[in-house]
C-alpha cells in the first residue's frame, strides 16, 4: 500500500466532523469511509510517483468537475469509473483546493 501519511492526515483533519466509520487500505491506497460509504481516498500514481486523491463525486457532478484543476478520469481497468475522479497535486496542494474536493465528496456522501 503506497500513500502519503501527510496527505492522509490533511484529509483526516478535514473529515474530523464527518462520521468517519472506517479507514480501509484498498485499491493501493487508503480510503476514508464516511457513514459506511466510500467517500475520499489517497494513493500514489504509479505512473508519476506523485500523491493523488480519489474523490467520489457521483455521476451527476462528474462531467462538471472533470474540468477542474488537477482533475482526471478515475481509471483502474481501462474503463473510466463515472462518479469517481483522480485529483493530482496541482488540484489539492493548496488548502482551499483540498477543502473544495473534500466538500464535494461529503456532499455526494450525504446524497447516497
C-alpha cell at 50: 506523485
* Angular region, 49: left φ>0, alpha ψ -120 to 50, beta rest: left
Q: Is the pLDDT of residue 58 over 70?
A: yes
Cβ-contact 89, 51 below 8 angstroms: yes
Say how far apart CA 85 and CA 66 lie, in whole Å: 7
pLDDT tier for residue 27 given thresholds of 50, 70 and 90: confident
pLDDT tier for residue 78 given thresholds of 50, 70 and 90: confident
Instruction: Give the mean model confidence (pLDDT) for residues 97-109.
Output: 98
pLDDT for the residue numbered 1: 62
What SS3 class is residue 47? coil
Q: What is the pTM of this model?
A: 0.94
Q: Find the radius of gyration of the CA atoms of the chain.
A: 13
Amino acid at each position: 500500500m503506497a500513500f502519503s501519511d501527510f496527505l492522509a492526515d490533511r484529509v483526516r483533519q478535514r473529515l474530523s466532523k464527518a462520521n468517519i466509520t472506517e479507514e480501509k487500505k484498498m485499491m493501493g491506497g487508503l480510503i476514508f469511509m464516511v457513514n459506511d460509504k466510500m467517500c475520499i481516498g489517497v494513493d500514489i500514481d504509479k505512473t508519476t510517483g506523485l500523491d493523488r486523491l480519489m474523490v467520489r463525486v457521483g455521476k451527476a457532478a462528474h462531467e462538471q468537475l472533470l474540468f477542474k484543476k488537477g482533475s482526471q478520469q478515475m481509471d483502474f481497468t481501462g474503463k473510466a469509473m463515472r462518479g469517481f475522479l483522480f485529483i493530482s497535486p496541482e488540484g489539492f496542494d493548496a488548502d482551499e483546493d483540498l477543502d473544495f474536493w473534500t466538500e464535494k465528496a461529503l456532499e455526494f456522501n450525504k446524497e447516497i
